[in-house]
Amino acid sequence: MSGALGAGAHLRVRWGCGRHAPVALPLCQGAGMEGAGELQRLLQGGLFWTRTAHDRGVGTGALRRAADRGEIVRLRRGAYVGAERWRATTPTERHRLLVVAAHRDQPDAVFSHASAAALWGLTLIGPWPASVEIAVGAAPGGRSRPGVTRRSCSGHLDVVEVDGVRRSSVSRTVVDLARSVPFVSGLAAADHALRRRLTTVEELRSTVESLGPARGVRAARRVLEHTSGLAESPGESLSRGRMIELRLPSPVLQHRLGDRDGAIGRVDFWWPELRLVGEFDGRLKYQVDGIADERRVEDRLWAEKLREDRLRAGGARVVRWTWDVALDRDRFGAALARHGLHPALQR
């Protein structure tokens, strides 16, 4: 593992191949006007280190006092990020920042599992680990330590280096997650990777087969059996995962419906035998920031109502659910059962 890899290069190695949360510590006098100004610039710039702060005239005392006031979040010893920036980031980005901070201390580490997923920008269902995850060989090579979880990896491990940070390949990352996290979370990661064309089903299958009888391979095969790049959001992947767990009839994904006036649009889930439309309502579709559709929220809500009216007028029934329902398997099953979806209908 010694030596530098070119950006984006793959290194095939044979390896026999968590949690201390960042502390949000709630300028204080004595920092000086210039130091205070430099601190504010650091807070606006994202991740920074103690050495960087010192080089800009911001001393240890000023950092400590800013932490006491809740202006900065300490990710690990010597690594900080502005509290406002931290609150504004997604869970995936927060874990990625933890990885970047850890990489400074361990530049030769190979990040795996959830930490590799964060580096690849993949989705997980549920909380991200508070510790970074680093791959080690099959033979234990030391203990995990605060903020770092060492993950034993079986068989061949594809290692990719991007921007100087080593991580497991996309296919290996997805398979490792599928082996170690709940089914719905593994499915969401696999769906996301396929949708973004970061890997293929063939690559995933090859990776699983290379692991032989390793722990969790059966769970990974189950994820591969059901994964689909047609899922357009983590919520859709979660919903489909719940349907599989509940042994419900398989829906058609992203089915297009229309009427005599023309196309109505695609629906998330379609059960033709029941003429039933299923829609995951993540509410993101009604937000303007970051969404391509920049109509006002009110306009989009009205358009969605008109769309649903057309579906119903054409003889379709519509069932909607939100995150809180999909996360509760029993509640989700009961909601679909009220619309005629039962395990007995499985083909």
Q: How far is CA 315 from the centre of its chain?
A: 37
d(CA 45, CA 51): 15
Q: pLDDT digit string (tens) for 135-152?
A: 987 555 455 677 899 998
For the packed helices 183-195 and 234-245, what is the interaxial angle rounded to 10 degrees?
Answer: 140
Show the tokens assigned to 242: 């719940």
Q: If you average pLDDT over every residue of the chain, what do you get?
A: 83
Q: Is 121's pLDDT higher than 60?
A: yes
Average pLDDT over residues 194-212: 96
Choose among 114, 17, 174, 88: nearest CA to 98.
Answer: 114
**CATH second-level architecture of 234-345?**
3-Layer(aba) Sandwich (3.40)
Instruction: Give the C-alpha separation, 33 to 31, whole Å.
Output: 7
Among the residue ranges 112-116, 197-201, 257-261, the one predicted with the least confidence is 257-261
- Average of per-residue pLDDT across 212-229: 96
What pLDDT score does 50 carry?
Answer: 87
Please determine, for residue 24, whether its predicted confidence score (pLDDT) is greater than 50.
Answer: no
| pLDDT given for residue 25 in this prediction | 40
> What's the mean pLDDT in 106-134?
95
pLDDT in tens, 37-86: 788 888 777 898 888 888 888 888 888 888 888 889 999 888 999 999 99
Predicted pLDDT at 8: 43
Query: Model confidence at 208, in pLDDT bands (50, 70, 90)?
Result: very high
Domain range annotation of the chain = 9-19+91-226, 27-69, 234-345
Name 276's bridge partners. 271, 317
16 or 117: which leads in pLDDT: 117
Confidence grade of residue 308 (pLDDT, cut at 50, 70, 90): confident
Q: What was the pLDDT predicted at 183?
A: 97
pLDDT (0 to 100) of residue 281:
87
Q: Determine how β-strand 148-152 pairs with β-strand 165-168.
A: unpaired
Closest Cα to residue 79, out of 98, 107, 65, 55?
Answer: 98
Whole-number pLDDT of residue 60: 86
The average pLDDT across 27-34 equals: 42
286 pLDDT tier (thresholds 50, 70, 90): very low
Token code pair at residue 260 = 């005599």
pLDDT at 262: 80
pTM (2 decimals)? 0.80
Please tell me the predicted confidence (pLDDT) of residue 316.
Answer: 86
SS (H, E, C) 92-110: HHHHHHHHHHHHHHCCCCE
